[in-house]
């Protein structure tokens, strides 16, 4: 959760590397980070307004990936507590590391453009936990529905669309790496539901529907913020790795239908019509 008003609970979003042996092990595990074409982007041809917008966009992306890393960690614990199939857990276990890599990629992209922008957040609100009164299986179902059947399933086509429009090799390489990692994230939610649905109590489908609707309602608020952003030259935006607001919202509306609502309907989960489009 970000905040424009600094409260005692807020902290500045900052990142660091410990270095030494820990960084070397990290680099060996994910060498693609250092393989990016760092240092190839000259920010001078872009206007100050475009650069500030790009720096803010990539800083926000780093923060969102940081939040997703926390959500993945919470979901992994829930899967283990629910005694999900071992191969399902093993496949999922790489996701938190994927997200940490994406944090670094986005943060370093902001640095290439002149540095990250100031972003304050409440660490205690980094990600939402499942309802502790639920059984372990229902807690896992709640988190997977929120974070993967909606969150990750919807973000992947938007990332892919941005990657297609990025014209500079550096943001294109970064977005391409993220899209490749996220492909597995996007299908995980449906794999989990196909396993879990026959095991859920009668309240299970209602929990899935309610969780999906609440998550989409929060996403609607983010889309409303996107709609209020001032327009930026499409050519400039594409070069640095983002879409114009109108283009983004059109792709978001299509993706909500094809990547979230249709797979839910295919599994007998019908959402209210209020959540089927961008308000």
Position 1 scores a pLDDT of 47
Mark the ranges of the chain whose per-residue pLDDT is less than 70.
1-6, 231-237, 276-279
Position 228 scores a pLDDT of 83
Between helices 245-255 and 204-228, what is the axis angle to 10°?
Answer: 170
> How far apart are alpha carbons 122 and 138 in whole angstroms?
27
Query: How does DSSP classify residue 36?
Result: S
Q: Which two tokens stand for residue 158?
A: 């938007």
Position 225 scores a pLDDT of 84
**Is this model's pTM higher than 0.85 or not?**
yes
> How far apart are alpha carbons 185 and 153 in whole angstroms?
8
Position 5 scores a pLDDT of 53
pLDDT tens, residue by residue, 164-175: 989 899 999 999
Position 277 scores a pLDDT of 64
Q: Which domains does the chain carry?
A: 48-269 (1.20.1260)
pLDDT tens, residue by residue, 69-108: 999 999 999 999 999 999 999 999 999 999 999 999 999 9
């Amino acid at each position: 959760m970000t905040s424009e008003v600094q409260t005692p609970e807020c902290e500045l979003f900052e990142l660091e590397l410990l270095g030494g042996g820990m960084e070397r092990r990290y680099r060996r595990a994910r060498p693609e980070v250092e393989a990016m074409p760092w240092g190839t982007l000259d920010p001078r041809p872009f206007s100050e307004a475009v650069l500030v917008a790009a720096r803010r966009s990539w800083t926000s992306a780093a923060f969102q990936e940081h939040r997703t890393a926390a959500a993945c960690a919470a979901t992994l614990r829930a899967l283990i507590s629910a005694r999900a199939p071992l191969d399902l857990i093993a496949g999922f276990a790489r996701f938190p590391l994927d997200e940490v890599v994406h944090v670094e990629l986005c943060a370093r992209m902001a640095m290439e453009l002149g540095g990250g922008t100031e972003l304050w957040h409440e660490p205690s609100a980094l990600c939402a936990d499942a309802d502790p009164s639920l059984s372990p299986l229902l807690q896992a179902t709640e988190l997977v529905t929120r974070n993967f059947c909606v969150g990750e399933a919807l973000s992947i086509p938007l990332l892919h669309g941005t990657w297609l429009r990025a014209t500079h090799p550096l943001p294109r390489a970064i977005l391409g790496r993220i899209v490749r990692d996220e492909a597995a994230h996007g299908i995980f939610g449906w794999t989990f539901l196909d396993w879990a649905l026959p095991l859920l109590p009668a309240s299970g489908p209602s929990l899935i529907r309610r969780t999906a609707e609440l998550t989409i309602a929060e996403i609607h608020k983010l889309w409303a913020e996107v709609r209020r952003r001032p327009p930026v030259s499409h050519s400039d935006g594409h070069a640095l790795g983002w879409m114009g607001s109108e283009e983004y919202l059109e792709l978001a509306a299509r993706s909500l239908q094809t990547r979230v609502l249709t797979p839910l309907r295919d599994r007998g989960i019908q959402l209210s019509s209020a959540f089927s489009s961008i308000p």
